[in-house]
A = this chain, B = another copy of it.
Amino acid sequence: MVKDKKFVEAITSMDEDFAQWYTDIVKKADLVDYSSVRGCMIIRPYGYAIWENIQKILDARFKETGHENVYMPMFIPESLLQKEKDHVEGFAPEVAWVTHGGAEELTEKLCVRPTSETLFCEHYANIIHSYRDLPKLYNQWCSVVRWEKTTRPFLRTLEFLWQEGHTAHATAQEAQEETIKMLNVYADFCEKALAIPVIKGQKTEKEKFAGAKATYTIESLMHDGKALQTGTSHNFGDGFAKAFGIQYTDQNNQLQYVHQTSWGMTTRLIGAMIMVHGDDNGLVLPPVVAPVQLVIIPIALHKEGVKEKASQLKEKLAKVARVKIDDSDKMPGWKFSEYEMKGIPVRLEIGPKDIENNQAVLVRRDTREKIFVSLDEIEEKVAQLLEQMQIDLLEKARKMRDEKTYTVKNLEEFKNVLAQKSGFIKAMWCEDRACEDKIKEETGATARCIPFEQEQISDNCVCCGKPAKHMVYWGKAY
């Protein structure tokens, strides 16, 4: 295959320097640009188009499950943020404060929302009166701000885009069902749309959300063996309801507190896709969320009939895929590199020879396999290929994750494995915070989750040797 060497050489190899490889991709695939605003990113058209596809699919799933979108103010008065004790302790250290409006100093400072529990609670206290008003199933698409010290595009930025679901229910059971339902929506979305396999489980007390009764999470493994939390779903119980006075009259005319949940996913998902599917030639996008699924590159553009045939093909294939044609006067080799960098799932090459033989060449981005296809069956073949690639990417990612998942029975083994390798560590835990802290200190790994699918690796805690309560996934995390 013709390659523009100069172009390809500009990317750091992922085995050589994973962090640099990541940064190279976000820049060279035109996903992100930097600005003079420290720690914030500009999401460029190609990056934003991926986010729009994510939004579209997730939003449809939220609506199918009965949720409605709303918009809350971006500011939270200091006194409102302080209403729930654990919540303010968790977030106050990392918020941005507005102290002046125009030339005037504000009498009460406002924080730029780091998350909107407090605003939703205030609103719910206002609009929920009777059991007839329940459940309230709201979601919001917006940006939030957290004052981070070190940042990386998509993974950790001062401002990021996300959705935050906030629901209120009559009973504790309903709230728990909602929490798990949305975790399952997230897990299914990650696997089906992003081709990213996830471990579903519960966070430890230490790792749970500020103000939550229980936090559930989906955890994924990146190519470098580090873990990434791809989505969380929280059951608040009635803690926020009591702090904000959200009460309703039940069927027996008794005042009751509501039970609440919240759940969120962010632009971090784009970072996850890069780090799960990408390779040394750039991004690899799962067809379901790829802004362009197939790029047509005419070969020997100026030969008679090539441009016309390519245009015909574009029109034909637009019925089964999101198609782009590049008939600019750049060299085919440059185009191949460029669209590999951008992770477009399938490339179609067509030149005079192909036209003569009534065929085209399809090249898969992930395997780079070349497939010669008759033009008579090009639509079916493209549709099949995109479907197959979506399945294969998930399978490949699952295999990668399983290969990087290790089982250990004591702290020595734990340390030894992480000294040589990087990945998920499965190990038993007594549920004692002291052991969790010690593991972090000695290995650098945190408890990613207590998975729903438990295994009995041994009877004893990997750290203290006392009787174990759970098997836990541990790992170094983004």
Binding site for B on A (CB under 8 A): 33, 35-37, 40-45, 48-49, 51-52, 68-77, 79-80, 93-103, 110, 112, 119, 122-123, 126-127, 138, 142-143, 145, 147, 158-159, 161
Please name the residue on chain B nearest to A44 by beta carbon. Answer: B70
* Interchain nearest-CB distance for A75 vs B (Å): 5
Using known A-B contacts A36-B122, A37-B77, A123-B35, determine if residue A70 contacts B42 with beta carbons closer than 8 Å.
Answer: yes
Please name the residue on chain B nearest to A144 by beta carbon. Answer: B74
Please name the residue on chain B nearest to A97 by beta carbon. Answer: B100
Instruction: Judge whether B71 and A37 touch: CB under 8 Å.
Output: no
Bound Cα distance A112, B106 (Å): 15
Q: What chain B residues lie within 8 Å of A119 (beta carbons)? A: 35, 37, 42
* Interchain nearest-CB distance for A137 vs B (Å): 9
Instruction: Judge whether A42 and B77 touch: CB under 8 Å.
Output: no
Q: What chain B residues lie within 8 Å of A99 (beta carbons)? A: 97-100
Using known A-B contacts A37-B77, A122-B36, determine if residue A72 contacts B42 with beta carbons closer than 8 Å.
Answer: yes
Bound Cα distance A437, B341 (Å): 58
Instruction: Judge whether B103 and A96 touch: CB under 8 Å.
Output: no
Q: What chain B residues lie within 8 Å of A49 (beta carbons)? A: 68-69
Q: What chain B residues lie within 8 Å of A143 (beta carbons)? A: 71, 74, 142
* Interchain nearest-CB distance for A89 vs B (Å): 13
Q: In the complex, which of the residues B35, B103, B138 contacts A93, with contact meaning CB atoms closer than 8 Å? A: B103
Using known A-B contacts A95-B102, A99-B99, A159-B75, determine if residue A69 contacts B42 with beta carbons closer than 8 Å.
Answer: no
Bound Cα distance A143, B95 (Å): 19
Using known A-B contacts A97-B99, A98-B97, determine if residue A126 contacts B33 with beta carbons closer than 8 Å.
Answer: yes
Please name the residue on chain B nearest to A30 by beta carbon. Answer: B127
Q: In the complex, which of the residues B45, B80, B123 contacts A69, with contact meaning CB atoms closer than 8 Å? A: B45
- 18 more contacts with CB within 8 A, not counting A33-B127, A98-B98, are A35-B119, A36-B77, A36-B80, A37-B110, A41-B73, A42-B70, A42-B73, A44-B70, A45-B68, A45-B69, A48-B68, A52-B69, A74-B74, A74-B143, A74-B145, A96-B101, A97-B98, A101-B147
This chain's copy number in the assembly: 2
Selected A-B contacts with CB under 8 Å, 18 pairs: A33-B123, A33-B126, A35-B73, A35-B122, A36-B77, A37-B80, A40-B74, A43-B70, A43-B71, A44-B70, A48-B70, A73-B159, A75-B159, A95-B102, A96-B98, A97-B98, A97-B101, A99-B100
Q: What chain B residues lie within 8 Å of A123 (beta carbons)? A: 33, 35, 42
Instruction: Judge whether B71 and A138 touch: CB under 8 Å.
Output: no
Among A77, A93, A110, A161, max chain B CB count under 10 A is at: A110
Using known A-B contacts A35-B73, A43-B70, A69-B52, determine if residue A102 contacts B93 with beta carbons closer than 8 Å.
Answer: yes
Bound Cα distance A173, B228 (Å): 49
Q: What chain B residues lie within 8 Å of A37 (beta carbons)? A: 73, 75-77, 80, 110, 119
Please name the residue on chain B nearest to A92 by beta carbon. Answer: B102
Please name the residue on chain B nearest to A142 by beta carbon. Answer: B143
Bound Cα distance A312, B45 (Å): 44
Please name the residue on chain B nearest to A52 by beta carbon. Answer: B69
* Interchain nearest-CB distance for A115 vs B (Å): 15
Bound Cα distance A276, B100 (Å): 36
Q: In the complex, which of the residues B40, B44, B51, B93 contacts A73, with contact meaning CB atoms closer than 8 Å? A: B40
What 10 A-B pairs come out closest when comparing CB atoms? A40-B73, A45-B68, A101-B147, A43-B71, A97-B100, A37-B73, A102-B147, A99-B99, A96-B98, A48-B69
Among A73, A102, A122, max chain B CB count under 10 A is at: A73
* Interchain nearest-CB distance for A45 vs B (Å): 4
* Interchain nearest-CB distance for A293 vs B (Å): 17
Please name the residue on chain B nearest to A160 by beta carbon. Answer: B71
Bound Cα distance A143, B73 (Å): 9
Please name the residue on chain B nearest to A113 by beta carbon. Answer: B37
* Interchain nearest-CB distance for A135 vs B (Å): 13
Q: What chain B residues lie within 8 Å of A71 (beta carbons)? A: 42-43, 48, 51, 143, 161
Please name the residue on chain B nearest to A119 by beta carbon. Answer: B35
Please name the residue on chain B nearest to A157 by beta carbon. Answer: B73
Bound Cα distance A147, B106 (Å): 11
Among A33, A93, A94, max chain B CB count under 10 A is at: A33
Q: What chain B residues lie within 8 Å of A100 (beta carbons)? A: 96-97, 99
Bound Cα distance A42, B453 (Å): 41
Bound Cα distance A18, B123 (Å): 27
Q: What chain B residues lie within 8 Å of A112 (beta carbons)? A: 74, 98, 112
Q: What chain B residues lie within 8 Å of A103 (beta carbons)? A: 93
